[in-house]
Structure 1
């Protein structure tokens, strides 16, 4: 028997329970790890609320990211040994390979022996944010040295990862945040410029920063009415990458800007990278190199013990954090 987090009905953080269950051994091509840390993601909150891309089947488990120790190898797994310290690239199907538990099983191709310089907490906080940002900025947008990129919701873990990746490439990250509260922290995290959207004109500031050219790349999880403003701040031939709908409002298509500036507006999901072996291999190499050199370093806002998973989810939904929320296991 092992302790895992499950929920038996849709609802708020209070529906999460720690249950004792039998966990089956890993199947062929899978690795079971003894979990030491979990990285929390908003997708897990959405899944718990019944508003994710897949519907829960009760009792349901959840969780995308983990770091720990290899405990059992499935048939056919090579390149790993019992006792290896590893972290996990989030799989495509969270309910099939849930992370929230003392033991968790994952496909071997998504298990990584990360640099020893990372703590368990940092390793558990790495893969979702860096793969998401890498896929958009490097694989899709082909962001290059010297180019400007606007990164909205920049205090999120993915936003901070995008800032670090832009800097590693030699691009110039322009971060946005609604209020002054997180402005200095975002600058300290590596943003070249921060636009406080409740107080400043985003288009005017971006035009000023870019000498009126605009930014070729915009990376946005907010959507809604702000899309037209973002398109207005873009350079001719630019690409606007939408990877979320945090606003919850209808999203207009910026037709005038798209026509007059030859803009591309593109939806993007993390799974584009994970389901493609070649793209996944390139992402692993880029991120592992950055983690090893220190160019990429996860920013952890706060950690919670496993028994406080309900409180951790409440904090996740508070939007107070700057960076990643991590849950630790003894």
Structure 2
């Protein structure tokens, strides 16, 4: 039996229960993992709350799409992975099918990346989702060029920090947006060229001022909702507003007509565009690995919770006070 986090109803962090569940044997294309660390993502809280981009199909339901551990068993047809190998799990599957909030979990082999020597479980659980998200939007889809300006809101999140590091590595100028002044200095230290404090400043006016009135070629919005109408004004002609989060929880309009039909590209994006495409995942893994080797990239871990405190980990995430990734450690 393996201690496994499940929930039997939609609700807040308190609905999560730690239960003994038989992990079973891996089927075709699957592996069983001894989970050592879990990366906590906003998608898991939204799934638990019933407001994610997909709904819970049945209860009890599982959670978790990112982690690190060691392969315990390999199912039929799996190649390239072996029992005893250290790996990372990337978000490449539905939580209706698999969940890694557990001591042991079965996942598809297509969601695994080898974990290099010297990368511990906490780092292995913290690094891939943020950097693959940033890589996909900025390189595969956006094709950011040196000299471009990238505005990133919710900039102190793990994805926001990875976006700052990635823009910097690509020769672009990252402008970070954060709600309060508390995180300003940390964002500068993480590589932001400028930091806009949204509670104190007009974000659009400041972006236009910083870019000489041109606007930013790319705006990466993790909030969405009615605020996109103002953010769209900060996009340069022909630029792109990426919607890669929905923190506002409110309907998101298309503002182009109200703004006089500017040359505005507005696009939704999730990391699944990379992780569910083998070639894109291969390229993304190479890009991130290169950044890790050079020191340009690194996992930024805010805090580590034990599995027994999974509800506290979710409450901390929902508080919005973290800088970087929240990780859960699994003791065996």
Task: Check whether TM > 0.5.
Answer: yes
User: Which residue in the other structure is 1:263 paired with?
Assistant: 264
**1:192 matched to 2:193:** yes
Q: Which moved more, 1:105-114 or 1:158-167?
A: 105-114
User: Which residue in the other structure is 2:49 paired with?
Assistant: 49
Shift of residue 275, structure 1, vs aligned partner:
2.5
Q: Which moved more, 1:238-247 or 1:200-209?
A: 200-209
Q: 1:97 to 1:292 in 2, by over 3 A?
A: farther
Equivalent residue of 1:27, what SS? coil
RMSD of equivalent CA atoms: 1.6
Shift of residue 199, structure 1, vs aligned partner:
1.0
Equivalent residue of 2:225, what SS? coil
What is the alpha-carbon distance in structure 2 between the residues aligned to residue 194 and residue 155 of structure 1? 11
User: Which residue in the other structure is 1:21 paired with?
Assistant: 21
Shift of residue 260, structure 1, vs aligned partner:
5.3
Deviation per residue, 1:237-264 (Å, 9 max, x gap): 1111112221123323222576554111
Unaligned runs of 5+ in 1: none
Deviation per residue, 1:65-111 (Å, 9 max, x gap): 11011111112222222221110111221231210111112221221
Q: 1:51 to 1:204 in 2, by over 3 A?
A: closer
Equivalent residue of 1:235, what SS? strand
Q: Which moved more, 1:199-208 or 1:188-197?
A: 199-208
What is the alpha-carbon distance in structure 2 between the residues aligned to residue 61 and residue 251 of structure 1? 29
Q: 1:319 to 1:204 in 2, by over 3 A?
A: same
Shift of residue 143, structure 1, vs aligned partner:
0.8
Shift of residue 56, structure 1, vs aligned partner:
4.4
What is the alpha-carbon distance in structure 1 between the residues aligned to residue 172 and residue 118 of structure 2? 26
Question: Which 4+ residue blocks in structure 1 deviate beyond 6 angstroms?
Answer: none
User: Which residue in the other structure is 2:97 paired with?
Assistant: 96
TM-score, L = length of structure 2: 0.95
Deviation per residue, 1:104-143 (Å, 9 max, x gap): 1222122111333422111101222122221111111111
User: Which residue in the other structure is 2:117 paired with?
Assistant: 116
Whether the 8 Å contact between 2:256 and 2:264 is mirrored in structure 1 is no
User: Which residue in the other structure is 1:297 paired with?
Assistant: 298
Alignment of structure 1 residues 139-288 onto 2, 5 Å = 139-256=140-257, 259=260, 261-288=262-289
What is the alpha-carbon distance in structure 1 between the residues aligned to residue 284 and residue 199 of structure 2? 35
